[in-house]
Chain A
Amino acid sequence: MAIRFDNVLGVHEHALALRAERTKILAANLANENTPGYQARDIDFAASLQRALEAAAGEPGLMVDTSGPELLYRVPNHPSQDGNTVELGVEQALFSQNASEFHMSLTFINMKLRGLARAIEGQ
Chain B
Amino acid sequence: MSFKNVAQIAGSAMTAQTVRLNTIASNLANAGTVAGSAAEAYRARKPVFAAIYEREAFSDEPIAGARVQVLDVVQSTEPVREAYEPDNPLANEAGVVFYSNVNPVAEMTDMMSAARAFETNVEVLNRVKSMQQALLRLGDNG
Whether a CB of chain A sits under 8 angstroms from the CB of B64 is yes
Instruction: Say yes or no: B124 contacts A30, CB within 8 Å.
Output: yes
In the complex, B89 has a CB within 8 A of chain A: no
On whether the beta carbons of A88 and B120 are closer than 8 Å, the reply is: yes
CA distance A25 to B62 in the complex (A): 12
B9's partner among A27, A36, A110 (CB-CB below 8 A) is: A27
A113 on the interface (CB 8 Å rule)? yes
How many chain B residues have a CB neighbour from A under 8 Å?
Answer: 41
Residue B25 CB within 8 A of the other chain: no
Shortest Cβ distance from B136 into chain A, in angstroms?
10
**Within 8 Å CB of A16, what residues of B?**
1
Q: Say how far A103's CB is from chain B's closest CB, in angstroms.
A: 6
Does B74 count as interface, using CB distance less than 8 angstroms?
Answer: no
Give A32 to B131 CA distance when docked, in angstroms. Answer: 22
Known: A16-B1, A34-B20, A110-B139. A24 touches B68 (CB 8 A): no
Contact B131 A99 (CB under 8 A): yes
Residue of B nearest to A102 (CB): B131
A31 within 8 A of B: yes
Cβ-defined partner of B6 (8 Å) among A27, A33, A35, A67:
A27
Residues of chain B lying within 8 A (CB to CB) of residue A117: 141
- CB-defined interface of B1-16 with A at 8 Å, one 1/0 digit per residue? 1110110011011001
**CA–CA, A28 to B54, complex, Å?**
12
CB of B128 within 8 A of chain A? yes
Interface size on A, residues (CB 8 A): 36
Considering only residues 1-44 of chain B, those with a C-beta below 8 Å from chain A are 1-3, 5-6, 9-10, 12-13, 16-17, 20
Interface: B134 (CB within 8 A): yes
Q: A23-B6, A23-B128, A71-B64 are in contact. Are A113 and B141 (CB under 8 A)?
A: yes
Docked complex: B90-142 residues within 8 A CB-CB of A: 113-114, 116-117, 120-121, 123-124, 127-128, 130-131, 134-135, 138-139, 141
Question: Which residue from B6, B16, B114 sits with its C-beta under 8 Å from A24?
Answer: B6
CB-defined contacts of B6 to chain A, threshold 8 Å: 23-24, 27
Interfacial residues, chain A to chain B (CB-CB below 8 A): 16-17, 20-21, 23-25, 27-28, 30-38, 41, 66-68, 71, 88, 92, 95-96, 99, 102-103, 106, 109-110, 113-114, 117
Top 4 A-B pairs, shortest CB-CB distance: A28-B65, A31-B13, A35-B49, A20-B1
A-B contact pairs, 6 of them (CB 8 A): A24-B6, A28-B65, A33-B117, A71-B62, A106-B138, A109-B138
